[in-house]
Each structure stands twice: as structure tokens, then as C-alpha cells.
Amino acid sequence: MRKLILLMGFCVPTLFSMAQDNDADKNSIFFRLGGGYAQRLNPLPGELDADGQKHYGRLNRGGNLSLQIGYFLTEKDALALVYSRFGSKAENKISGNNRKSLVNTSFAGISYQRFIPVGDKKDINFNVKLGPGFLFHREESTLTNGVNGSTKQMDYSKRQPGVITGAGFDFKLNKNIRFELNLDKTWGRIKDKTTNINLGVVSIGAGLRFQF
């Protein structure tokens, strides 16, 4: 979260200044930076006690960072490179042992986006997105024995094809900068003989889009 705040603190004033100095038209490059709350759709493991439910439930809730670089093909149609990252941490005592866990799920791909004006002034757009890419999933966990202090570590990572969909609204701040509210969902699953993980993440957030 500190890295996100520092990144936004550096990028937003710079992009704001650059965007104000340029005229946006239908054939323009845009950059979007945003973040918000996210929820994993992977079900909790079975046969958990109350502490286990709390631990894994916390891992399913986290923050989202979203970056996009795109190009308007027409006034209403755009293609964009999309990066969306979910991250969460949890630390709890489970059955007398201390478990510390971290989960990251990232999507990287390309999306088609459609912008539909709401009203005649074009100050507000309804937008939708759809695109393929890859999901990068990683889990880290350290279990510390509550009796003898011994530790056991687990590190699991996997790449899997995925899809991103989304919808939202953007609001005109000036000619080149728009404020966005979006609801996005990534789709994907890791499934083999020993693993069945739903990589779906639903995120709701806000961001700024700068057009050059």
C-alpha cells in the first residue's frame, strides 16, 4: 500500500500537468491509474475452526491496483494493455500455531473498451471492457509451531490463462482528465489432480484517466 501511495503521489501531479497541456481527440493515447477494494472468489478450505475461517476469510479480502495504457481507435472504441493486481495478508493463531500468509493474484493482458456517452454533453460515459490475458497467482505461508517454535514454509506460484471483464462510469474533470468508477472481474482457474483454485477476483475502485 505504501508503494501504491508513493507511485500515485509521483505520477498523478506529473500526468495532470502533461494532460492539461495537450488537446485530446478521438485518436489519443491514454493512461489510467487506479485502486480500490477487491474480493477473491475462491471458497474457504473445508473443516476449518473459527480461527481458520477468520484467517482464510481475511486472505480473500484485499486491495487492488490497476494500470492501463491504451489508444482510442475512435471516439468510443479503445484498445488497452491492462494490469490488475490483488494482494492480501493475514496472520492468526490456528490450533495453537501461528500462521502468516500472503496471496497475490495479478492479471496482465489486452482489452477492448467501449465508451457510451450519457446525455448530450459527453461529460459522463458508461464504459465496458473485455479482454484475454494471463493470471499470475502466488501464495506464501509460514506456520510456526506454538510449542517448540519450529517453522514450516509453503510457496506456491502458477501462471494460467484468464479473462478480464468490467463496467463503470467516467466523469469529465477537464478536456484531458476524467475520473472513473469501475467494477471489474477476472476469470480463471487452476485445476489439476491436486489443486483446484478459483482465480476470480471482483474489484471495485476509482481512478484517473489521462489523455494525451
The pLDDT assigned to 27 comes to 60
pLDDT band for position 121 (50/70/90)? Answer: confident
Q: Taking a C-beta distance cutoff of 8 angstroms, is the pair 108, 85 a contact?
A: no
DSSP string, 102-152: EEEEEEEEEEEEEEEESSSS-SEEEEEEEEEEEEEEEEEEEEE-TTT--EE
Q: How confident is the model at residue 111 (pLDDT cuts 50, 70, 90)?
A: very high
Task: Evaluate if pTM is beyond 0.85.
Answer: no
d(CA 119, CA 98): 56
- Kindly state the percentage of the chain with pLDDT values over 90: 60
What's the pLDDT at 183? 97
Q: In angstroms, rounded to a whole number, what is the distance separating the alpha carbons of residues 74 and 166?
A: 20
Residue 26 banded pLDDT, cuts 50, 70, 90? low
Q: Which residue has the higher pLDDT, 186 or 156?
A: 186
Q: Are 65 and 77 in contact (CB under 8 A)?
A: no
Domain spanning 2-20+28-211: which CATH class is it, in words? mainly beta
> Which has the closest alpha carbon to 205: 115, 85, 117, 109?
85
Q: Identify which of 139, 159, 150 has the alpha carbon closest to the alpha carbon of residue 56.
A: 139
Contact 4, 87 (CB under 8 A): no
What are φ and ψ of residue 176, in 5° steps? -120, 0
Q: What per-residue confidence (pLDDT) applies to 96?
A: 75
Q: Where are the domains of the chain?
A: 2-20+28-211
Instruction: Give the whole-angstrom CA distance, residue 168 versus residue 189.
Output: 25
> In the numeric block, which cell numbers belong to residue 175?
478536456
